[in-house]
Amino acid sequence: MKTLFEKIIAREIPARIEHEDEQCIVLHDIQPQAPVHLLIIPKKPIPRIGEAGPTDEALLGHLLLTANVLAKKLQLADGFRLVVNNGPCAGESVPHLHVHLLAKRQLAWPPG
């Protein structure tokens, strides 16, 4: 069974796409927690970061570098936060690894 993100990648479900390349797709979150809230999603279906392996190293680096490219494109020089949830107790709602990019508001610490 495909995850929600796999259906979006396959264009079976519409989404507001900010960026796409061969390895990932970047969407605007449908329930944003900040004025900028993007989801950076690998096209390879990895359920969560805890299940990523050594062969995923380059892909994981690509996700972070994509976040940096988008932060520059969206002029987020004041700062941004990257979040990766791992498991339901961490707030994971879709079992497909993704990186949240949040910005354009003051973010509290500690998070959550």
Please write the tens of the pLDDT for every residue from 45-101.
Answer: 999 999 999 999 999 999 999 999 999 999 998 999 999 999 988 889 899 999 999
Q: Is the pLDDT score of 112 beyond 80?
A: no
pLDDT for the residue 111: 80
Backbone angles phi, psi at 81, to 5 degrees: -125, 140
Give yes or no for a contact between 43 and 2, defined as CB atoms under 8 angstroms apart.
Answer: no
**pLDDT at residue 64 in the model:** 98
Q: Which residue has the higher pLDDT, 27 or 110?
A: 27
Q: Is the pLDDT of residue 110 over 90?
A: no
pLDDT for 77 equals 86
**pLDDT for res 12:** 97
Q: Catalytic residues, which ones?
A: 98
- The pLDDT of residue 79 is 95
43 CB contacts (<8 Å, ≥6 apart)?
Answer: 9, 22, 23, 24, 25
4-103: in CATH 3.30.428.10: yes
Query: In Å, what is the CA distance from 44 to each residue of 3, 55, 64?
Result: 12, 12, 15
